[in-house]
Structure 1
Amino acid sequence: MIALQDIANPAIATTFARAPEPARAGMLALRGLILNVAADLPEAGRVEETLRWGQPSYITPDTKAGSTIRLGLPKAGGFALYVHCQTTLLSDFRALFGDDFRYEGNRAVLFDTPDDIKPDLLSHLIRNALTYHLK
């Protein structure tokens, strides 16, 4: 698990630090998964970690190959991985893995605990988001 002090951008580290447990641990696990998937996608180019709408976000600024991925805290509790709601990313993912996750409309995969993250399945969504505009 990555430590908050290992996050280069202090504003992003603070955002993670403000999340309650176990959401913080889950968001950090998702962050690690996003960065690991990105490392295996040279076609996506560099992935930049930034804040969008006050949430840790992952973009492909050089290639513009991807659609933004965000991590956040839904009002209902837990934590979530968000994708752009006007893409087919979540509907395509839901068609493959619908019963394996909980969703918020066409914009988020919801989690209660870090144990709810299924990296092998979720990697599919992350890979498709980071290369969305290459289709």
Structure 2
Amino acid sequence: MKRPDADMATPAFADSAVAEQFAALPEHEREKMLALRQLIFEIAAETPGVGRLQETLKWGQPAYLTQETRSGSTIQLGKPKEGGIAIYTHCQTTLMRDFQSIFPDEFTYEGNRAIHFCEDEPLQLDTLRLLIRNALTYHQK
């Protein structure tokens, strides 16, 4: 049976500037960033009240907003100065701090705003689902 919101999971790029950001990445980083992008869209599609995501650039990085429902806080994907890739949440939320309290040693954190992933580090997508779902529903609490 098809999920009601299955068309929202992993859509094509609607914004050519976002597509260009992904295309410009080295292949190993692009694969990881695309996996995170897919996970964000999948969780949005399966989580009641989130609605369709807006994918845009914020500060030159792909960003995911719950513009339609305003249910959540922005999630960004990017490249930290130290290398690798990262997933960012808004630093004035408790999202990263709460996630780090549950998984203190599983990830490399940048304060209360990001998780960094090294080139040779596999993504823990099942664990990251919690962070992404909490970000997409942050204002529903």
- Answer yes or no: same fold by TM over 0.5: yes
Q: Which amino acid aligns with 2:107?
A: F
1:117 aligns with one of 94, 113, 123: 123
Q: Percent identity?
A: 55
Q: Which amino acid aligns with 1:8?
A: A
1:48 aligns with one of 40, 43, 54: 54
Higher relative contact order (CA 8 A, sep 6+): 1
Which string of whole-angstrom CA distances, capped at 9 and with x for unpartnered residues, describes residues 9-39 of structure 1? 2111101111223211111110011011111
The residue number in structure 2 matching 1:3 is none
The residue number in structure 2 matching 1:104 is 110
How much is the aligned-residue C-alpha RMSD, in angstroms?
1.3
For 1:116, what is the secondary structure of its paired residue? coil
Query: Is contact 2:14-2:55 (8 Å) kept?
Result: no
For 1:66, what is the secondary structure of its paired residue? coil
Alignment of 1:50-89 (within 5 A): 50-89=56-95
Q: Which amino acid aligns with 1:67?
A: S
Q: 2:120 & 2:58 partners in 1: Cα distance?
A: 23
Gaps of 5+ in 1: 1-5
2:27 aligns with one of 6, 14, 21: 21
- Count of matched residue positions in the alignment of Structure 1 and Structure 2: 130
Is the alpha carbon distance of 1:40 and 1:115 closer, same or farther for their aligned partners in structure 2, counting shifts above 3 Å? farther
Which string of whole-angstrom CA distances, capped at 9 and with x for unpartnered residues, describes residues 99-134 of structure 1? 111111111011113752111110000000000011
The residue number in structure 2 matching 1:134 is 140
Query: Is contact 1:25-1:114 (8 Å) kept?
Result: no
Task: Provide TM-score, normalisation by structure 1.
Answer: 0.91
Q: Which amino acid aligns with 2:64?
A: Y
Q: 1:23 & 1:74 partners in 2: Cα distance?
A: 12
Q: Which of the two has greater helix per residue?
A: 1
